[in-house]
Structure 1
């Protein structure tokens, strides 16, 4: 087969080769200079996962950390990008409204207000884990920490399998500002920056971010946008007040607005007009003709707003004791209109109208003694939320696409036209029968907890630590449904029923509640094998809160009543050991092996109405190995990467039902990354910095069933992606001009499959982003 090397291919090859070519001169630097530079960088890796500042090598747990500079250098502006470089972490973004967080095989992605998350997302020390409000832009960030394994003692019950902690930059001690502007393919427009003003006692910082681009999946439907386009605005005001050397108060207000064009759910059975069923080609997603009235907005897309308030006060009572108060309030309001069947048919048109507010208060004391660190305190957390799911369809299209009319006519003809059968079935009496209904789940969840954690240095080499959190939870769940009976079935003289198998409560709220409590311990050992290497071992217990699952049903008298069940709390014991340290003063590394044992493993399933619910899948176990490293090969050349293996599945036991032996969803067996970053001085003060990062993910399943739908596999084979950047930096003048790109080889891959359409026998597929390249100019100002 003859291959022509086009200009595009040659340009792509040169861009990918730049980091390697630029690195060659750096290899000639002296070994002592390498060691000095590497040691400086190693010592700067500090984290606060244990509620105090520590070197990452002294934390007896598996933890990955990225500072703000590294995020900026690699162009990591979204949470899902971080997962590509973090062992044991997978973040899936269908949209900001529907993310999935996976740590060591365990997924936390349900938007139901009745279900608790498994993964804690902490934002400036406050739990913001409810999924519809937990995904946010990364701008003006100080640090991101990813802690694996249960962290209930330090982070609360939502950290059943781990925690992601994001810390934003606080005001500097001097006046400065920064502005960045960028543009790229798909009409990308980007801007971010900050202004920082410093007074004696009061300092302030105002940061912002704006990103916009067109969708990478064309939509040929009239009056609809191309799919997977974004428009995201973020702003953050940070105030620091220091009335004395002993007191520091930080107030932070964060605002985020998303106006995305919606997710491309491509039907795997029916093609758009003139197209095919490939997830990577154009779609014809029309939505509902009555979208504004039935679903809440005139066309497909996402409208989400987040407001977040945080007040943290640190008061050093004396040389050894500090009191800390952390107060947080967060609210989100999101409306996402989506075409769940992913076709031109008025078939499965849904929306999700989710609202929530969270309030938390933590009070803690920390004591730093000669050979011990003691932490104790209490926390109160409450959240109220609702998730309303409106539904719109045309009745004859709905029944025909499900194959329930027996006409022998397809849902969509080969020429792309949709069979509207109402005029035929009603003898011309009606042209269409528009149907709309909705169901809503609600949750009012409250908890208080007390915790105690102590670290004790037995000797210069041996440190032990242990902690315990007592938690008391109350949960009240509600459910409401307005689901009319089918007009078409009545006209045809058949038994009438709602289109979706949900018992209508006429708008009345059905509810139930429950209470639970638990003790969650952790134990850690850290031993210094030598000056450069630490060994650690840990055992910890995590818990995902119990679920009060409420829907509607009919009692023996035919009355609508609550159909409620309590799914017991999912518990996990994590056992882990590993080493971390540095080698030859040039390589920072960590490696660990872990085993996790689950009881009452909770899985999120979807019923025939498209409603998500929680079920008990029985027992589950997983084990794995995680390694990561950073090697400073010279003063200018850095190599970094990770390799992780995970064997995670529901136990193959008959007691665990139909999911027995299945692998966890969204979890590859193997993940790895390899990155190269090089700095080369091209003139006095002017530096050429280039990077290249390759990431790998093995096969994954998108649904717990691990099975095809309508004969179509609901999985993705192994995926390798390349990201990179090359740019000029002038540190003295404070400017940079950088070309950044993701998915440089324009690899086609899936983000998700199955989805709501899969519950109706019409699986849909979501394509990952195509190649994105943009040029960014950044200027720093000081005065």
Structure 2
């Protein structure tokens, strides 16, 4: 494979633009948006064909690439600025977790099947860790809310996000965009697009982000900074149309990230060994007396001289090929072949202090293959899609943690669970939309899915015998309670998970399983007139069963959980008036069976330990509304509000809270499910000269309080927050623009998640007030 660096990425971006002939580019310069443009009709592909957003009977948020840039959406984590009801949190290793309307799955593992599926041009990225470079050079993004199992398959019970890349053009064009902020972080992004032959158009886009250490230590001692970026992305699209009845789109992308992992903020000391068990550092004392950070997003303490450098080192490749073949005037055959590979690595300070207690690494690979074939029939009043797809995922995962001074382990011990996971999925599906009359439309669809999984887990000894001695001692204790003599079976073995009673001998956990399900959807749309549509929708979706990735002292911690099932009911309306007004609103209710969650259970002699469990019955319900209005020439107002109530109805077997106490979770809500979330954006465009336009904008996000766990004790609380951004700029019809911006104008102190980290609790803070300048030129 070719190895890139951030500097080489700059050369690639610059070269892509430089090779385009200047004379041709000048003829295709882009003019700024006109002040009286108003609201245009938004075309989406939510049902795998082009439709007007106002004609699709489901809740969809669609934002153009230009709107995303204006809002400061530079990666998938910042997509929450554009989508109400969407939350994106990070686990303790920085892996993203997506929730829509409260439906999410919180798991610190590469092999965790999500509840929100992600696609780039309909090519799947089936695991959240694969989504690092999706925001490069976009035409638009579509966020579909509610179960999408019929057309998008398993693991879309909360919804689906489809990133649509900007496509090759049949005229030469190019552009470059660069930004710098108050912390010295520099970003440059560019593209070049145009014809190579009469039938082949190509687009090349690249970006790099460098520097910007924005976090800093807050306790006495050497001043340490972290948070700097070192990442880049490259995408090549080739659109080949050899005939009027056939077209192909080849997508090649590469993404790499060697940035600093974001440092955590300590929120509460809670030594796992109980009060007084924590290590006492000669300089900084115990975690129990360690000062908590000030109310400052930038404050974060880290160990000065870690055993391994705190860094990320991710590298990902994706290749997809789409072919569309017109078999007749009404029938099209579509083939989508997809491959993605990720090499993942992160090493970070896991205790959020200068005390050297826990250093955590997570590494592994994801390799996924997929193939979809479908036929689309578009007849006078009937659209039909039938198809099949198959995929295979292979994931290797390790989590070597070094414990210099963890309260419940011997000093300098290392643990390393190692797992291999394989998932093979096949599915067949059908979807139909029948226009019964000019006003009334019926929709329906179903998908049969079979998933075969295999999983193995080994609790490895690092080679110094420390894991063998520790686990072997526990096993012998279990044996003595059963009247058995000690065993030396743990000496010299690689895998040290304690097997079942009565022998408690070491095992390598291995299991295979097969799941089947049928997702379905039925709905109706009724157009009262050309401006107003009401709709109703009932759908069912599934999230695949799975295995936990944990430090498994006993094999009982590795049991598989059942697949989730959601039955969703939604009703809503959509209203639009010309190019001046657009309103949509919907109410929803979810009946949730076998929700998967990590929880604590009591293991004899070991106390609380993490396992993956099913919550037998829970529910979610709420409503949302979105408004876009252009009341006068040049002014656009946009706002959206989501209300969500989540509730566990039947929690199942006894679970523990974060302090090891038995607790009844009945009535608790879901993690990362704020009751209220809202976004707004206001933009005013004013001509200020010949071919010159001033742009003023303000946007913001509000989330009410939420929690980082179904254990809704205080350490997991995430307080409510509101952030406001502002921008002001000039755009010229000659293709250039300059924008000054401020993000988090009021420097609101907030955080995006809350986690237990071994000897305490920690949070990931939001970004502080930031300001900068963006310059762009489009040829």
| TM-score in same-fold range (> 0.5) | yes
Deviation at residue 649 of structure 1 after TM alignment: 1.6
Secondary structure of the corresponding residue to residue 566 of structure 1: coil
**Does residue 727 in structure 1 map to residue 729 in structure 2?**
yes
CA distance in 2, matches of 1:552, 1:696: 37
Deviation at residue 450 of structure 1 after TM alignment: 0.3
Secondary structure of the corresponding residue to residue 70 of structure 1: helix
- Residue in 1 that maps onto 2:745: 744
Sort the Cα spacing of 1:266 and 1:676 in 2 relative to 1 into closer, same or farther, 3 A.
Answer: same
CA distance in 1, matches of 2:477, 2:305: 24
- Residue in 2 that maps onto 1:594: 588
- Residue in 2 that maps onto 1:354: 364
CA distance in 2, matches of 1:154, 1:99: 24
Q: 2:665 aligns with which of 659, 669, 672?
A: 659
Sort the Cα spacing of 1:139 and 1:507 in 2 relative to 1 into closer, same or farther, 3 A.
Answer: farther
Indicate if the aligned counterparts of 1:202 and 1:240 stay in contact, CA closer than 8 A: yes
Indicate if the aligned counterparts of 1:482 and 1:504 stay in contact, CA closer than 8 A: no
- Residue in 2 that maps onto 1:344: 354
- Residue in 1 that maps onto 2:519: 520
- Residue in 1 that maps onto 2:406: 398
Q: Which moved more, 1:46-55 or 1:439-448?
A: 439-448
| Alpha-carbon displacement from aligned partner over 1:727-752 (angstroms, at most 9, x marks no partner) | 11002x10001112321211110122
**Does residue 91 in structure 1 map to residue 88 in structure 2?**
yes
- Residue in 2 that maps onto 1:682: 688
**Does residue 773 in structure 1 map to residue 779 in structure 2?**
no
CA distance in 2, matches of 1:383, 1:488: 35
Q: 1:77 aligns with which of 71, 74, 77?
A: 74
Sort the Cα spacing of 1:264 and 1:362 in 2 relative to 1 into closer, same or farther, 3 A.
Answer: same
Indicate if the aligned counterparts of 2:617 and 2:650 stay in contact, CA closer than 8 A: no
Q: 2:598 aligns with which of 583, 586, 604?
A: 604
| Alpha-carbon displacement from aligned partner over 1:110-150 (angstroms, at most 9, x marks no partner) | 24355421110111212213122223351210110000111
Sort the Cα spacing of 1:369 and 1:487 in 2 relative to 1 into closer, same or farther, 3 A.
Answer: closer
Deviation at residue 273 of structure 1 after TM alignment: 5.2
CA distance in 1, matches of 2:551, 2:707: 31
- Residue in 1 that maps onto 2:167: 170
Indicate if the aligned counterparts of 1:286 and 1:346 stay in contact, CA closer than 8 A: yes
Sort the Cα spacing of 1:692 and 1:563 in 2 relative to 1 into closer, same or farther, 3 A.
Answer: closer
**Does residue 634 in structure 1 map to residue 632 in structure 2?**
yes
| Alpha-carbon displacement from aligned partner over 1:279-320 (angstroms, at most 9, x marks no partner) | 6364331177432xxxxxxx1121111111010111112211
Listed as ranges, the matches of 1:499-578 within 5 Å are 503=497, 509-549=508-548, 564-578=558-572
Secondary structure of the corresponding residue to residue 260 of structure 1: coil
- Residue in 2 that maps onto 1:54: 51
CA distance in 2, matches of 1:129, 1:729: 39
Sort the Cα spacing of 1:186 and 1:504 in 2 relative to 1 into closer, same or farther, 3 A.
Answer: farther
- Residue in 1 that maps onto 2:127: 130
CA distance in 2, matches of 1:630, 1:577: 20
Q: Which moved more, 1:138-147 or 1:85-94?
A: 85-94
Indicate if the aligned counterparts of 1:94 and 1:263 stay in contact, CA closer than 8 A: no
Indicate if the aligned counterparts of 2:191 and 2:204 stay in contact, CA closer than 8 A: yes
Sort the Cα spacing of 1:749 and 1:630 in 2 relative to 1 into closer, same or farther, 3 A.
Answer: same
Listed as ranges, the matches of 1:368-379 within 5 Å are 368-379=378-389
Indicate if the aligned counterparts of 1:550 and 1:563 stay in contact, CA closer than 8 A: no
Indicate if the aligned counterparts of 1:203 and 1:241 stay in contact, CA closer than 8 A: yes
Sort the Cα spacing of 1:130 and 1:287 in 2 relative to 1 into closer, same or farther, 3 A.
Answer: farther
| Alpha-carbon displacement from aligned partner over 1:22-77 (angstroms, at most 9, x marks no partner) | xxxxxxxxxxx99x843xx332x110010100000111111110111211232321
Q: TM-score, normalised by structure 1?
A: 0.82
Indicate if the aligned counterparts of 1:160 and 1:544 stay in contact, CA closer than 8 A: yes
CA distance in 1, matches of 2:687, 2:537: 45
Secondary structure of the corresponding residue to residue 600 of structure 1: strand
| Alpha-carbon displacement from aligned partner over 1:655-704 (angstroms, at most 9, x marks no partner) | 78632211111111011122210100110101001110122110011111
Indicate if the aligned counterparts of 1:479 and 1:552 stay in contact, CA closer than 8 A: no
CA distance in 2, matches of 1:252, 1:194: 15
CA distance in 1, matches of 2:421, 2:614: 19
**Does residue 140 in structure 1 map to residue 137 in structure 2?**
yes
Unaligned runs of 5+ residues in structure 1 are 1-32, 292-298, 405-421, 423-432, 555-559
- Residue in 2 that maps onto 1:697: 703
| Alpha-carbon displacement from aligned partner over 1:438-473 (angstroms, at most 9, x marks no partner) | 112321001000001111011000000100101111
Listed as ranges, the matches of 1:105-124 within 5 Å are 105-124=102-121
Indicate if the aligned counterparts of 1:105 and 1:648 stay in contact, CA closer than 8 A: yes
Deviation at residue 653 of structure 1 after TM alignment: 6.5
Q: 2:719 aligns with which of 710, 713, 717?
A: 717
Deviation at residue 567 of structure 1 after TM alignment: 1.6
Q: Which moved more, 1:678-687 or 1:475-484?
A: 475-484
CA distance in 2, matches of 1:496, 1:217: 46
Sort the Cα spacing of 1:502 and 1:743 in 2 relative to 1 into closer, same or farther, 3 A.
Answer: farther
Secondary structure of the corresponding residue to residue 400 of structure 2: strand
Q: 1:290 aligns with which of 287, 307, 325?
A: 307
The number of residues matched between the two structures is: 690
CA distance in 2, matches of 1:245, 1:641: 42
CA distance in 2, matches of 1:257, 1:571: 35
CA distance in 1, matches of 2:582, 2:727: 23
- Residue in 1 that maps onto 2:205: 207
Indicate if the aligned counterparts of 1:124 and 1:310 stay in contact, CA closer than 8 A: no
Deviation at residue 226 of structure 1 after TM alignment: 2.5
Sort the Cα spacing of 1:164 and 1:510 in 2 relative to 1 into closer, same or farther, 3 A.
Answer: same
Indicate if the aligned counterparts of 2:71 and 2:81 stay in contact, CA closer than 8 A: no
Sort the Cα spacing of 1:552 and 1:173 in 2 relative to 1 into closer, same or farther, 3 A.
Answer: closer
Indicate if the aligned counterparts of 1:94 and 1:751 stay in contact, CA closer than 8 A: no
- Residue in 1 that maps onto 2:18: none
Deviation at residue 180 of structure 1 after TM alignment: 1.5
CA distance in 2, matches of 1:89, 1:741: 23
Sort the Cα spacing of 1:605 and 1:442 in 2 relative to 1 into closer, same or farther, 3 A.
Answer: farther
- Residue in 2 that maps onto 1:278: 293
CA distance in 1, matches of 2:573, 2:685: 30
Deviation at residue 609 of structure 1 after TM alignment: 11
Sort the Cα spacing of 1:606 and 1:238 in 2 relative to 1 into closer, same or farther, 3 A.
Answer: farther
CA distance in 2, matches of 1:438, 1:167: 39
- Residue in 1 that maps onto 2:319: 309
Sort the Cα spacing of 1:726 and 1:321 in 2 relative to 1 into closer, same or farther, 3 A.
Answer: same
Indicate if the aligned counterparts of 2:615 and 2:650 stay in contact, CA closer than 8 A: no
**Does residue 477 in structure 1 map to residue 478 in structure 2?**
no
- Residue in 2 that maps onto 1:42: 40
- Residue in 2 that maps onto 1:242: 241
CA-atom RMSD in angstroms: 3.1
Indicate if the aligned counterparts of 1:510 and 1:552 stay in contact, CA closer than 8 A: no
CA distance in 1, matches of 2:251, 2:87: 28
CA distance in 1, matches of 2:268, 2:549: 33
